Structure 1
Amino acid sequence: MSMAPAVGVLARIAELLHEEPADRGGALWRLSAEGRQLDANVIRMLPGTRVTGHVDPDLDVLLCVLGGSGLLEADGSRQPLESGCVAWLPRGTRRALFADEDGLVYVTAHRRRPGLAIRSAAQAEGGEAACLLDRVCPGCDRPATEIGARYCSRCGSQLPA
């Protein structure tokens, strides 16, 4: 007999931000219910940090800013981000994020990632995970800033393959 996924309130943003140290960036919360069709994450970018430009060839991403401010660069245009902004990033869109001096907290939501597939280098051009969870350290939850990093520069833990 399969269990139904949890329904209702799964997280309270104010509590997440209060419980986590202010100098901790990365994923503060992840949707993890079994059998889900959706992935969602609450991400904190520390002041002055950035998510480097990348393209997701498979998934549209909805991004909603919960706090702080920054800049969204999408397909060459730059747009300011502040609390309450909602952005749609269609698959194939080159995107980057920059956190201002207050940092940036946002939630992403997208269809659950399909199984891994082998692609040519041309197909995978910048094809990083929509929320960059493949770069989040399992030891300290800090996102790696270097593309292709194998170990966390903060705590030395091996990053997910």
Structure 2
Amino acid sequence: MTAQDGGAPAPDPGPPLPRILCDTGGLRATDGEDTGGARWRLAEPGRQLDANVVRIPPSGRVDTHTEPDLDVLLHVLDGTAALVCADGERALRAGLLAWLPHGSARSVVAGPDGVTYLTVHRRRPGMRVQPPGAADRLLPAPDGGG
């Protein structure tokens, strides 16, 4: 309700407050079948960061890829893995924090007990729907004029 429709004005929510989001200790344990994938994702509205807790089962892997735009921090919560880079492998274990700079090619290969890790990076801007032909307005005129 708003003051315009006869109700009381909405209270000012004030500045955002810090809060506990997740107990990652509970995300490391596996009950029964050890499947991989995201165990937790940061989903709060208005955030500037993205974060995920990811589990890779024993001997599983994240294939080689390059993130062209974002630096990523990877913090190992549980287990072991190999971070495979252009200049070789780096052993990962619980407690290690790795920086994956944008433009770097890398893969992660889980150890015999699997690995659980937290990734944090700047949030990607959402995609915006544009009318047809909007991108054409950004191209130079065919005659080179502006």
TM-score using structure 1 length: 0.65
Amino acid at match of 1:75: A
How far has the Cα of 1:20 moved from its partner?
A: 5.9
Structure 1: runs of 5+ lacking an equivalent: 118-161
Amino acid in the other structure paired with 1:9: I
Task: Note closer, same or farther for the CA distance 1:52–1:9 as it changes in structure 2 (3 Å cut).
Answer: same
What are the within-5 Å matches in structure 2 for residues 1-161 of structure 1? 7-18=18-29, 22-116=33-127
Q: Which structure 1 residue ranges, 4+ long, deviate > 3 Å from structure 2?
A: 1-6, 17-22
Q: Which one-letter code corresponds to 2:35 in the other structure?
A: R
Instruction: Determine helix, strand or coil for the equivalent of 1:15.
Output: helix
- Matches of 1:37 and 1:78, distance apart in 2: 31
Aligned to 2:140: none
* Unpaired runs of at least 5, structure 2: 1-9, 129-146
> Across the two proteins, how many residue pairs are aligned to each other?
117
- Cα distance in 1 for partners of 2:119, 2:41 equals 10
Superposed CA RMSD in Å reads 2.2
> 2 CA distance for matches of 1:83 and 1:44?
13
AA matched with 1:84: G
Bigger radius of gyration: 2
TM-score (norm 2): 0.72
Provide the C-alpha distance between the structure 1 equivalents of 2:110 and 2:17, rounded to a whole number of angstroms: 32
CA distance in 1, matches of 2:86, 2:39: 27
Deviations 1:36-59 (A, max 9, x none): 000000000000100000001010
Which amino acid in structure 2 is aligned with residue 35 of structure 1?
G
